[in-house]
Structure 1
Amino acid sequence: MKKFWLLILFVSVLFSCSDSERSNNNPYIPNYNVNLSVDMNLPLYSNLKYVSNGVIVPNYGAKGIIIFNAGNSYNAYDAACPNQELSSCNAMTIDGINAVCSCDKTSYSLFTGLGGKQYPLKQYRVQVTGTVIHVYN
């Protein structure tokens, strides 16, 4: 009987585990398909080789994609303000290690995506192979 309960506990823990991604649902930012590759050997993206540097790649997602070197990993976020109507704001700007919304001047950490408002930055998946960063959802 004890083995049965251990098995039930193990199965419930297994199914309750997540891949530690936060929900990307945001009523202000539609779910666009994103499939972007950038090569850090190109001058436009060479800053991404260094920690705490980021770039905005226009014409992807809702308002462009922010790619940021977080040290041990790369983060990619939509450049749309996550707590504003899509049509009311320009694309966010990068200010050091933060992205700043053009409407309400809220700063969002490019390390965590958090900004103290209801919704964090909309995050995309990232895969790095050599000097190529692939951003997708």
Structure 2
Amino acid sequence: MRRLLYLVSLFFLLTACSGDEEIRRNPYLPDLNFSVRLDLNLPEYNKLNFPGNQYVTRNYGLNGIVIYNLNNDQYMAFELTDPNHIPETCSYLSINGTQASCNCDDGNVYTIITGQPIAGQGSYSLKPYRVVRNGNVLEVSN
């Protein structure tokens, strides 16, 4: 009886999953596996100790990542490749303040605070990465 109950529960769990996952999954940007630790005591990352500041590195992700300090408890990190393009030379994003702009001729602009598009074409938001603060170390990963 337990086994039957387990199988029925498993069936409902599997069939209850939404098919919307494929709609939300970005077909242009592949999933990369990486993990980087940023020691906020080092001068290179010092500005991430203050809310409203950002740090850009081109060493991780497809075209780099931007990390934004929202309030010293929350940090946001996003891929610096336009999520509404197949990665190409012009699809890297340039940062100006809290905006990330595409270098292709489509006018795509995103906010690095939420990742949402604020101008241009396309329906995908910036690809987010996970950020965890442990003491004075930020770990950014996918």
Structure 2-normalised TM-score? Answer: 0.74
Aligned counterpart, 2:92: 91
User: How far apart are residue 122 of structure 1 and its match?
Assistant: 0.2
Greater shift in the superposed pair: 121-130 or 104-113: 104-113
Identity, % of aligned pairs? 36
User: How far apart are residue 69 of structure 1 and its match?
Assistant: 0.6
1:122 corresponds to which letter in structure 2? K
User: Which runs of 5 or more structure 1 residues have no equivalent in the other structure?
Assistant: 1-11, 17-22
Within 5 Å, which residues of 2 pair with 1:1-137? 25-71=25-71, 72-103=73-104, 104-116=106-118, 117-137=122-142
Structure of higher CA gyration radius? 2
1:136 corresponds to which letter in structure 2? S
User: How far apart are residue 106 of structure 1 and its match?
Assistant: 2.1
Aligned 8 A contact 2:110 2:126 in 1: yes
Aligned 8 A contact 1:24 1:122 in 2: no
Structure 1-normalised TM-score? Answer: 0.76
Distance 1:24 1:40, change over 3 A: farther
1:36 corresponds to which letter in structure 2? V
Distance in structure 2 (CA, Å) of the matches to 1:33 and 1:48: 23
User: How far apart are residue 90 of structure 1 and its match?
Assistant: 4.9
Deviations 1:34-74 (A, max 9, x none): 21111122222111111111111112111111111112400
Deviations 1:111-137 (A, max 9, x none): 110014300000011100111110112
Deviations 1:14-37 (A, max 9, x none): x89xxxxxx872111111112111
Q: Which runs of 4+ in 1 moved over 6 A?
A: none
Aligned counterpart, 2:20: none
SS of 2:117's equivalent in the other structure is: coil
Distance in structure 2 (CA, Å) of the matches to 1:107 and 1:46: 27
User: Which runs of 5 or more structure 2 residues have no equivalent in the other structure?
Assistant: 1-12, 18-22
